[in-house]
Structure 1
Amino acid sequence: MSSVNPTDHFSLFRERHSVRYFDASHKLSEQEIKELLNIAGSAPSSWNLQHWKFVAFTEAAAKEKLLPVANGQKQVVDASVTIAILGDLEAGRNAETVYGPVIRAGLEDAYAGYRSHQALFDQIEEAYAVSESSSYRRDEAIRNASLAAMQLMLAVKAMGLDSGPMVGFDADAFVKAFHVPPRYVPVLLVAIGKAAKPARATSRFPVEDTIVWNGFELDSDL
């Protein structure tokens, strides 16, 4: 099913393209979706707080409800599953769940360089105690959830399927339509399934135009 060359580790990245048209007859099992999201959830995150929540749209009625929120983009209906990736604005609350087993097991060397678990907890608490008007919580939520989203799309390609990330949707309408708690912020939608048409060809900047070696020069206009 996959076109990815297993002997070429970079082919996964080269052959991943954003697809807009999906085979509406193709289905994914719940187990396959869980497998993809399990891999997505192994993405890195600040303090390993795992700042993401996934909303999986598999049922026709739910997809139809999502359609106007996604500005009529039909791929949310035709895809085998559309995943909404949400960022966690209160990821600091995850610290006990993440580190509790480590603490109880007495693995004091597992705190990523902190002198104690308390020092780690104190820094997390301090970071998340910032004013709600600060951009910190939102920036962290979007940053880390985006890492999981990219990992999801690569996992999809490894499974021999295709995906299409979408930011063209009404985040406020999504929150209202699907009763999203204030703790979470919608980051993007990812449609997943079997491509009905090849992805549209796109160009990329030459790598030389994207690299700045060792910092910008004074008064650089790049």
Structure 2
Amino acid sequence: MTTTTQATAAASLFDVIQDRRSVRQYDASVSIPREELTEILELATRAPSSSNLQPWRFLVIDSPELKEKLLPIANNQKQVVEASAVIAVLGDVESYKFADKIYTTSAEAGMMPVDVAKSFIERTVAMYSGLPPEVARSIIYTDGGLVSMQIMQIARAKGYDTVPMGGYNKAQFVEAFGVAERYVPVMLIAIGKAAAEGRPTTRLPIGDVAFFNELPKA
């Protein structure tokens, strides 16, 4: 990649970050093709995760009937039914069961020696299968947040809008959509085309939130 190409790519990334807004009003006539939704999710899974276990799972809700079903569970937030789809980001507390597939594939692709992959599989399964539930969930929320931000930035880069939603009844969601016990709801993300621009917001000065080497005493 040339210096000019790198600068253009960086400028584009900065524009995406600056332009992203949390949008709550969507054009209900716009439908995002499933192929494009799949591409957004595939790109988003380039996010980092603990031991590369990729614990995120996605339930994409684009059926009008199911969006209506989700509406009261999500406190009747209109974006649920107006957006093209709602992506439920879930975390798999048993993601270590994919360690064999993940590391074997890496070895087959020449990314690590076979003996190293085997060692990683054994150590990863032993460690993650024995984690206390609260630790396993903490990891899932961290990794789920990383992939969720990726989804929203990629959607913006492709001309779509999003809003992350934590305001929903997780217990009702689990029951209504038959979510297995191993999957933990992280958040909902509405995605579509804005019918009205998201409200611009300000950010605290960086001096209020970033400190070098030492935190303030109070």
1:12 and 2:16 matched? yes
More helix by share: 2
- Where does residue 157 of structure 2 map in the other structure? 158
Question: How many angstroms apart in 1 are the aligned matches of 2:50 and 2:183?
Answer: 17
> Which letter does structure 2 place at the counterpart of 1:41?
T
Asked if structure 1 preserves the Cα contact closer than 8 Å seen for 2:93 and 2:136, the reply is yes
TM-score, normalised on structure 1?
A: 0.88
Asked if structure 2 preserves the Cα contact closer than 8 Å seen for 1:162 and 1:193, the reply is yes
Question: How many angstroms apart in 1 are the aligned matches of 2:214 and 2:88?
Answer: 36
- Where does residue 62 of structure 1 map in the other structure? 66
Compute the RMSD of aligned alpha carbons. Answer: 2.0
- Where does residue 116 of structure 1 map in the other structure? 116
- Where does residue 216 of structure 1 map in the other structure? 215
SS in 1 for 2:215: coil
1:87 and 2:91 matched? yes
> Which letter does structure 1 place at the counterpart of 2:13?
H
Deviation per residue, 1:14-42 (Å, 9 max, x gap) = 11010111011111111111111111122
CA displacement at 1:131 relative to structure 2: 5.1
CA displacement at 1:156 relative to structure 2: 0.5
- Where does residue 53 of structure 2 map in the other structure? 49
Q: 1:94 to 1:25 in 2, by over 3 A?
A: same
> Which letter does structure 2 place at the counterpart of 1:123?
R
SS in 1 for 2:13: coil
Q: 1:8 to 1:42 in 2, by over 3 A?
A: closer
CA displacement at 1:207 relative to structure 2: 0.8
CA displacement at 1:192 relative to structure 2: 0.5
SS in 2 for 1:110: coil
Q: 1:77 to 1:117 in 2, by over 3 A?
A: same
Q: 1:74 to 1:14 in 2, by over 3 A?
A: same
Unaligned runs of 5+ in 2: 1-7
CA displacement at 1:12 relative to structure 2: 0.7
TM-score, normalised on structure 2?
A: 0.89
Question: How many angstroms apart in 2 are the aligned matches of 1:120 and 1:187?
Answer: 27
Asked if structure 1 preserves the Cα contact closer than 8 Å seen for 2:103 and 2:118, the reply is no
SS in 2 for 1:22: coil
CA displacement at 1:45 relative to structure 2: 1.0
Q: 1:24 to 1:106 in 2, by over 3 A?
A: closer
Aligned counterpart for 1:96 among listed residues 85, 96, 100 = 100
> Which letter does structure 2 place at the counterpart of 1:152?
I
Report the count of equivalent residues. Answer: 210
CA displacement at 1:106 relative to structure 2: 8.4
Asked if structure 2 preserves the Cα contact closer than 8 Å seen for 1:90 and 1:137, the reply is no
Question: How many angstroms apart in 1 are the aligned matches of 2:138 and 2:88?
Answer: 18
